[in-house]
Chain A
């Protein structure tokens, strides 16, 4: 069977692919793979464009300029666009595109209200991104790219984040929920 049209690959194969992709990113762009800095930059550039007076009083811009990391449309912003396209291509090739608006496990716990799922998705997405920017990385930037560089900050981040996420999931769904995955 053509691997491109398969619905899934072994996690070891996909994981090894991501490992090799990180060699490529380091060798060609001199950058670790990450996702959330792009969101920060996109938002900062938006503030500069739509609310220039507000941006003027925000010392974010001066601080990041001084650090040599000014907000710009860069490699990582394009990477995020690419992630969307790559998943679109992969799922279109395999036809793996039929998913319920409210995931089954969520429905078991909270009912099938779309409003509830969407409002909590919005809030939790915001909280997750806010945390990622405080820590300067996410599952990609810290969890994969940072830990593979043996960075102490990244090992600390991913251990604490996954421990808290595990506690949260058990608090939400409990033992009974685990039977409904």
Chain B
């Protein structure tokens, strides 16, 4: 029924830091979430992208030195696809995702509080209908707990290098290029002449 008290305390501390970062990052706000989907505010993409790049490097390093293990969710095609469609419609209408709804409640947002009540309703529907939903979730096949390196038979570090490159390109596209357009007293730095061989 309960995890150990230490683990419960660890969860609480992790959650407090998580909620603090979500609020400071401004994603516990309706305008920011919906603004992302309307391409007016790129906070969500910037924040998630940075979290994924930083997280991937550290977590795969921890796995490499055997200080952590992966916990991959199974690829049940129907469950993931139908779930993602319901999730996307719900998130865009509500204007918060599950984590940011809870953070929005902490920020004092009334509509996020009602959204969280609805989330309990959605979870209840899932638990009560579980026996009827399970065959649907499994109907289009189950690939199990696979990762991109698994299915392509490549090293995870290749994918992490790609993530870092993608993140760098994204940063240049969103921020750096905009800075370069504004006149600046400092001339843009030229690439240093490295040895040609």
Contacts and interface: CB of A to CB of B under 8 A. Distances in A.
Interface of A: 6, 8-9, 11-12, 14-33, 35-36, 39-40, 42-47, 54, 58-60, 63, 72-91, 94, 96-97, 99, 101-106, 117-118, 120-158, 160-170, 172-173, 177-178, 181
**Taking chain A's interface residues, is the majority helix, strand, or loop, or is none over half, making it mixed?**
helix
A88 B121 CA distance: 24
A128 B119 contact: yes
Contact of A128 (B11, B26, B97, B148): B97
Contact of B12 (A81, A156, A173): A81
B126 interface: yes
Contacts of B173: none
A96 B107 contact: yes
Interface in B107-154: 107-112, 114-128, 130-131, 133-134, 137, 143, 145-151
Range for the number of chain B residues in contact with chain A? 35 or more
B137 to A, nearest CB: 6
Contact of B93 (A124, A139, A140): A124
A129 B50 contact: no
Interface in B56-71: 56-59, 62, 67-71
**Taking chain B's interface residues, is the majority helix, strand, or loop, or is none over half, making it mixed?**
helix
A134 B38 contact: no
A130 B86 contact: yes
Given A99-B29, A125-B118, A168-B92, A181 B147 contact: no
Contacts of B53: 19
A63 B111 CA distance: 35
Interface in B27-62: 28-31, 34-35, 37-41, 43, 46-59, 62
A87 B55 contact: no
Nearest to B70: A149
A150 B147 CA distance: 5
